[in-house]
Amino acid sequence: MEGLSEGEKAGFYKAVFTRRDVRSGFTGSEVGAAALARVLRAAHHAPSVGFSQPWNFILVRDRATRERVKRSFEEERLRSSRLVEEPRRSEYLSFKLEGILDAPVNVCVTYDPSRSGPFVIGRASAPEAGAYSVCCAVQNLWLAARAEGLGVGWVSILSNEALAGALGLPDGVTPVAYLCLGHVEEFAPRPDLEEAGWLPRLGLEDVVYYERWGRGEAGPGWESGVGETIRRGGPDYP
């Protein structure tokens, strides 16, 4: 099977490695209907367990709705700040962690376990696979948005109960991601929290094991030099 051309691969890897969780710098410019449709179509073509396609995309522009969601963010941010001691608490509270009112479009991506009926191939042994499928749709959306020059910020500091009330979600439908979408001034060279020193990026060699948990060295059966190649790494994209 023929792979992508070198130019196509370069574009794909550039989208992967320059995608950012955008919290600030939204320009306020409207997102064109054609670009928005392309991004949503890419999200809708994500893989899903048993081809169940258990997602919905709620597009939100209404100011009052977004202000209601923003209030939930502020409440949850203060609540979660109590889980960490100073000076880490003040540092956390100083971060800009959402663009709910700044981005022209908010998108809530939901999971509906009833989609496709009670029996979904592959979900009986792994019930979580339905929600994982929705995460695949979110990632497709994020990468497609980057290809379109649009920034996306995932606001996870929210109450699902508050979201359900603000968006009129029926019983059983769960919010998985609340996204802020729009044109941005720039895509930062590094993720904000990495730049701020909140946490370092782990090396690939720190998260790859061979054959079983904790085995960090490639043994028999693996191509010679694979471990060293992983350790050596390389450019983020061609």
Specify whether the backbone of 126 is left (phi greater than 0), alpha (psi in -120 to 50) or beta. beta
The average pLDDT across 8-23 equals: 95
Closest CA to 80 of 64, 65, 95, 99: 95
Contact (Cβ atoms closer than 8 angstroms) between residue 178 and residue 69: yes
Q: Which pLDDT score, from 0 to 100, does residue 226 have?
A: 87
Looking at this protein, which amino acid is placed at residue 56?
Answer: N
Residue 161 scores a pLDDT above 70: yes
Rounded CA separation 164/176 (Å): 11
Q: Which pLDDT score, from 0 to 100, does residue 70 have?
A: 98
Rounded CA separation 216/235 (Å): 22
Q: What is the dihedral of CA 225, 226, 229, 233, to 10 degrees?
A: -170
Q: In percent, how much of the chain has pLDDT > 90?
A: 88
Residue 194 scores a pLDDT above 70: yes
3-state secondary structure of 195: helix
1-15, 61-75, 121-135, 217-231: which range is least confident on average? 217-231
2-6, 173-177, 229-233: which range is least confident on average? 229-233
Q: Which pLDDT score, from 0 to 100, does residue 227 have?
A: 83
Q: Which pLDDT score, from 0 to 100, does residue 145 have?
A: 98
The average pLDDT across 206-224 equals: 90
| Averaged confidence pLDDT in the chain | 95
Residue 238 scores a pLDDT above 70: no
59 — phi, psi (to 5°)? -90, 130
What's the CATH number for 17-200? 3.40.109.10
Cα 131 to chain centroid distance, Å, stands at 13
Rounded CA separation 186/195 (Å): 15
Give the gyration radius of the chain's Cα atoms. Answer: 20
The residue ranking higher by pLDDT, 225 or 155, is: 155
150 — phi, psi (to 5°)? -105, 140
Q: Which pLDDT score, from 0 to 100, does residue 219 have?
A: 85
Rounded CA separation 215/207 (Å): 10
The average pLDDT across 134-146 equals: 98
Looking at this protein, which amino acid is placed at residue 167?
Answer: L
Domain edges within the chain: 17-200, 202-238
Cα 57 to chain centroid distance, Å, stands at 14
Query: pLDDT, tens digit, for every residue of 94-123?
Result: 999 999 999 999 999 999 999 999 999 999
- Name beta bridge partners: 57: 109
Structure tokens at 103: 């981005």
Rounded CA separation 26/224 (Å): 47
